[in-house]
Each structure stands twice: as structure tokens, then as C-alpha cells.
Structure 1
């Protein structure tokens, strides 16, 4: 240091070149005045928020974001649904002379089977899924026909949509018809796109729309208007993702709305449900009892709920507390915080499904991902809208959440499809491969070029 000072080196001056031919270059001073000043934006609340937003956006754009949202969101919804089924169904089971854990044990068994189906769907190649489309559609159609055969079909809550499997187990074929329509419709549109036929309106509609209307007719024979609405949204979702012209899409939508209005108008039960939208009083003959007590349950919950198991409405006041109106019990026991968490999980599933459908180049994957996302989100909207009094009570369960194995199994298989599609994205495949033991180091070694000997 003394030698440098004697040579005339001054603090704050950098030196370039060799000492013999060095020339001084003054180092730039920090902006803003003092030596300890920080760049603008740093050290402030606004700068910290900007940093958080940049990091969140970077994490959101990672290749595995959709994969983790689908896997984590579906598992969280299923787990929370099991907790709420256990809490909401105890009184109902005791009133029926059953063990308090009766409905919970059945739902837990369905969730275990559904988890296996989810893993199977997540590992099944696309070609096998496409091969299953026609057999699954045929089996679903036959089962829907058998439901209407006296002695085979069972009537529950006024709807004939069930087939007894022996003992306490029943199956609802209309739930499996949703999955069948997703796979068959996606395969049909993908094959027509490969032949460049989707630019003709007749190939967009035939046979997709007639076959769907056959399924809708069989379901409506049993009186299940809610499943009919959900299946219709799946059809509209397929046409939308396929790029149907606005005029054609509007025509199909208008026909379905007209048919729905006809079915509602010709049924006194459906008209009474329509009249209960926004009701705050049970009305004559207590026709709006369920809708009003669903609002009461949500109001009793407040911000953070009365506590798990502390619901009052499940003590015989609110019908179907563990199925169609489990969202109301969730609001009463977990409060607004709990219901917003459920909504956030469904929003995450919807975003992830749209992202998968938008980033793939495989037509079948795009159609199937769009149809599954439409199915899950539309059914959630119909169920939650009915609980909030914004839509008529349609009698559809909350996907992955409400009690019912017939609804849970195909829904978990459908989520497995989305997970498989998310894993199959090029960026996701590379990211998952890098996480395997030994792959990262070998990949890095291949990228390093050999340098001349002696160079560091």
C-alpha cells in the first residue's frame, strides 16, 4: 500500500493495464449523493413489493406450475372434503340409525380407490386413453338405459339415476357419462382435425351433438336436471376449444337453453326451485327451506366459523348437509376463510387446466384438457351458486369435495388426465428429468466443453 501511494495512486481511482503503462480511470460514484446511498426503489415498501411480484411471476411461469397446482389442489380438496364429510354427516347417520362414521368410511374408501385411478390416469399413455373412449361411451350408454328398467334402477330423492351394486353401494352412471363424453368427444374432434374436416360445420356437429343429446335424454328420463346442465357445458366446452364459429356456437347454445326452459316449465318441482333464487324466507309449504337454511349456515359462520363440528344447521335443519350443501356447512364451521380457501383451490385447478390446454400442441390433449376443466369448474359453479342463492338448486355435488363415490371416482380420474397432460409438456418433462438422481450432474458434465491444458 505504501508503494502504491508513493506512485501517486489516489483512493477512488482504478488502474488499467500493467503497472508500467497504467492509466488512471476514475471509478463511477454512486448516484443519489452519499457513498452509502441505495438505488431508487430498494429498501422501501414499494421496492419490496416489486421484488415479491417479480419472484411470484417467475415462479408462476415455471414449467411445473400447472403440474403442482393440479396435484396439490386436487389432494387438498379431497382431504378437506373428507374432513367436512365426517363433520357434516355424523348427525345424518345417527338419525338413520347408522354409526356416526358410516358416510365417512364409505367416502374414505372411494377416495382411496380414486387415488389409485388418479395415479393410473396420470401414467396412462394418450393412445390407450383414446382407445378407451368408445368402450367407455358404450358402457355408459348401456348403464343409462338399464337405469330406466324397472327393478334395476333405483329412485333416490325423486330422481331415478342409480343402480344397486349390492349392499349399501350404488352407482350413478350419469357421472361416468361425463368422463365418457370427454374422452370420446376429444378423440372424435382430434381425428377430424387430423383430416382437416373441422372447418365444415357438419363435421363439428355430427355426430358429437346428436350423441350428446342421446345421453342428455337418457339422463333427463331419470329427472336429473343438474347432471344434464353439467354435461351440456362439457359439450359447449368441446365446441369452444375446437374453434366453432360464433354463429354455430350460439345456435347450439340457444337450442340447449330452449330445451332446458321447456323441461323446467313442464315440471312443478323445477319451477319451485327456480322461484327460490335469492329467497330469504322458506315461503309457502316451506318450498325454499333448503335454500334459506343454506344462507343461514353461511351467515352463522362469520369470518372464521363456529369451529369444526360446531354446525347448528346439520342437526336436521339443512337437508343433504354432506352432499349438495356441504359448502354451506363448510362456511358455518370454517367461516369465510374456509369457503374462500375452497374457492381458491377450484380457481387454481381451473387456471392449471386452461394453461395445459393452451400450451399443448397435441389436439386430443387440448380438447380433453379443455373439456375436463369445463366439467370441474362448471359443476363447482352450479353447486356453489345454488348454496349462495344465486342459482336454482340443481342437485349436483361439489367436485372432489361432496360425499358420493360415483361422483368422486370419475372426477379423480379426470384430474389424473390433467396431471398426465401437465407432465407431458416439453418443459415439464425436462424439469422432472433433471430431478432424478444423477441426471443433473451428468447433464452438466455434458455441457462443459474441454479447454486447453493449463487453462482454468
Structure 2
């Protein structure tokens, strides 16, 4: 009896452990679902946009009031761009991958034409001539050029998989003339910060495509020499670098490094838990570009460490989702384009946050999805819409999405169920 009881107990414990294991399997199964990548990108993007709108309203309200405008002026403009970007992203997510292959060259050709138009007709903002105005609409063609370059690089190298080891096939036509035209036109508008982001994007596309290391060595040396000449050839850029390297500059809130110093003041004032949403002191004309390049400092001041960590976690989720998409796909075009978009968003976020916390010099790069700026927000949302399009085309994902009713159908499903119950009662009578 005791042996049987022990066996029964052993069987029972084995059954319970198996049951516990079976209960844990659905969680792992959900992470391995084809829908995981899609919903991670969609959820992180939506949260960042909504959070960014809240912080843009908080950071820009004082500046708008000081300019004799309504406190919600910048917020309403950003909300309009968010709606336009969301519609564009929704449309982009519904397009098939083959459509993005067809649209790649027209997109980059249009971007080059718009960048060329900036030189004679563009507007200068903060010393950079990188804005183009068409009636009441003002935008930066360089933001659209980033997306065009990524798609063109994906198309070119998807068709050159067997010849990627040749320097000539790497250089033509992606590096020369397309990338050279784009970077040259951006530099003609004196926008070195955007040009550096574009160079990082180009390097990421080449790396994922499998370009030989000698291309990176030659390209890196050429880029270093070019950036050095551009920095030394401009007194404004030279002073930014020398001031950034000067330890005394970073302690003077009234000097050349005043913007960086006030950004650090904002983060320090926020402490662990922040001073409260809307209660920032630095946005009262102390910190310039509070709603744009330095919005991360306002987040740290008002929401403290949890607010800044939330931004980092959301971008980390986006990074993991993009890596998951790139590593699981068998389509070379999707792999190169997905890696390019991921590098664009994360690289720009790292540069922006690094400038705010003092790791990098200030070069005027916004925080994607969070900073105020219509061109950046709309283009970023379109890029993420393309990632959603790629995720929808994962094996099994489209079928699962089509099998699920959308939010409107789920909401309206309550009414028909009540209407159908009436005939059933009548038939029972």
C-alpha cells in the first residue's frame, strides 16, 4: 500500500508539474505567434505618439503664451500631423511588399528633386537651409530622403545577392550616384546633423546587405575626412565641438553650452519622481527647443526617472520587434529595408538622447515620434507603417489578422445579437 501510495503521489506530482508546464506553454506560444511582431510595433508606436503629444503640449504651452499665442497652438499642429501620419501609416501597412519595391526609385527620385529645390527656394532655420515651403505647408525633404534611400538600397541589394562582394556592384548605383546626391544636397543646405544620420543609415544598409569590409574602411575614412573638413570650415561648428570638449563650458549656463547645461538642470531637478506633469521650470524660456530637440529633458524634469525609462523601454521594444522581423524573414528586401528603418529610428533616438545627457554635442536631431515636428513625425510613421506591412506578410500573420474582427465590428456585434434574439423568441411561441 505504501508503495502504491508513493507511486500515486509521484504520479500526482508528475501530473501537476506537467499541468504547470502546459499552463506556461500558451505564454511562450503567444510570444512565438506570427502576430507578436505586428502588435509590438503597433503598440510601441501608438504609445510613443500619444506620450509625445502630451509632452509636446506640456513643453510648448509656455513658449506659445510668451509669443502671444494660444497655449495649445503647437499641440494642435502636432496633433494634425499625427493624424495625417497615422492615416499614411495605416495605408502603408496595407500595401504588399512588391508595391514597396516598385515605389522605391520614384520615392528617392522625388526626394532628390525636392532636396535640389531647397537650395534656391528653401528656408533657413537656425542656420540650416533645409526647409521647403509649398503654400502654407512647410516640410523637410531630407526626412523623406531617408526612407527613399532605405527602400532603394533594399531593392538594389536584394537583386545583387550573388555580386555583393564586388566593390563596383556595391558602389553602383546605390553609393554612386544616389547616396552621393542625397548626402551632397543635404550638406549644401548646411545640415550636418541630418547628413550624419543619413550616413549611418547607408552604413547599416551596406552591413546587412553583406558588403565587403574594404567598402566600410574606405567609406569610413572618406566620411571622417569630409566631416572634419566641414567642421573646420565653419566657425559655428568648430565652436560647438571645442565648447563641447571644454570642461568649463559645461558648467556655464550662460555660455555656448547653455542649452546643454539647462538640459542637465532639467534632468537634475526632476530627480527620481519628477516635479509633476506641466510643472517644469526650465521650459520658462530657460531651455530653448524644449518641445523639440530637448523634449527628453522636459520628460525627465516633469516625470522623473520613470518617464525617461518609459521612453527607453518603448524604443527597446521597437528595437526587439524590428530585430525579430529582420531575423525571421526569408525575403532579402524585407531584411535590408527593415534593418535600415530600425537603424534610422534607433540611431536618431540615441543621438538625441545622447546630446541631452551630454554624451554628444548638440546637432539638432529630434527624438522620433516624441519631438515636435511634422516632417519627422509623418515620415517616421510611414516608415513604421512599412514595418507593419512587412510584419503582416510574415507566414500566418495575415490569415490571423483577417480572422480577427476589427474594433468597430466587435463594438457593433452587441446590437445584432440582441436583434437576433427577438425572432428566436417568436419562433419558440
TM-score by length of 2: 0.87
Q: Structure 2 matches for 1:179-190, cutoff 5 A? A: 179-190=147-158
1:207, 1:302 → 2: CA distance? Answer: 51
1:203 and 2:169 aligned: yes
1:273 and 2:240 aligned: yes
Shift of the 54–259 alpha-carbon distance from structure 1 to 2, 3 Å rule, reads farther
Match of 1:255 in 2: 222
Shift of the 56–287 alpha-carbon distance from structure 1 to 2, 3 Å rule, reads farther
SS of the equivalent of 1:148 reads helix
Q: Structure 2 matches for 1:207-222, cutoff 5 A? A: 207-210=173-176, 211-222=178-189
Unpaired segments ≥5 residues, structure 2 = 407-429
Match of 1:288 in 2: 257
Contact 1:276–1:291, Cα closer than 8 Å, also in 2: no
1:401 and 2:380 aligned: no
Shift of the 55–385 alpha-carbon distance from structure 1 to 2, 3 Å rule, reads farther
SS of the equivalent of 2:157 reads helix
Shift of the 170–434 alpha-carbon distance from structure 1 to 2, 3 Å rule, reads closer
Of Structure 1 and Structure 2, which has the larger fraction of its residues in helix? 2
- Of 267-276 and 237-246, more deviation after overlay is shown by 267-276
CA positional deviation for 1:207: 1.8
CA positional deviation for 1:54: 7.7
Match of 1:6 in 2: none
1:100, 1:91 → 2: CA distance? Answer: 7
Superposed CA deviations along residues 160-213 of structure 1, whole A, max 9, x for unmatched, are: 11112334x4111111111111111211212223xx322322111222112212
Shift of the 321–348 alpha-carbon distance from structure 1 to 2, 3 Å rule, reads same
Q: Structure 2 matches for 1:322-401, cutoff 5 A? A: 322-401=291-370
Unpaired segments ≥5 residues, structure 1 = 1-9, 14-25, 43-47, 438-456
1:320 aligned to which of 267, 276, 289: 289
Shift of the 237–98 alpha-carbon distance from structure 1 to 2, 3 Å rule, reads same
SS of the equivalent of 2:160 reads helix
SS of the equivalent of 2:367 reads coil
SS of the equivalent of 1:385 reads helix
Match of 2:97 in 1: 126
2:291, 2:262 → 1: CA distance? Answer: 14
Shift of the 366–90 alpha-carbon distance from structure 1 to 2, 3 Å rule, reads same
CA positional deviation for 1:62: 2.8
**Cα RMSD over matched residues?**
2.6
Q: Larger RCO: Structure 1 or Structure 2 (Cα < 8 Å, ≥ 6 residues apart)? A: 2
2:231 aligned to which of 264, 267, 282: 264
2:346, 2:180 → 1: CA distance? Answer: 21
2:219, 2:30 → 1: CA distance? Answer: 40
CA positional deviation for 1:254: 2.6
1:71 and 2:42 aligned: yes
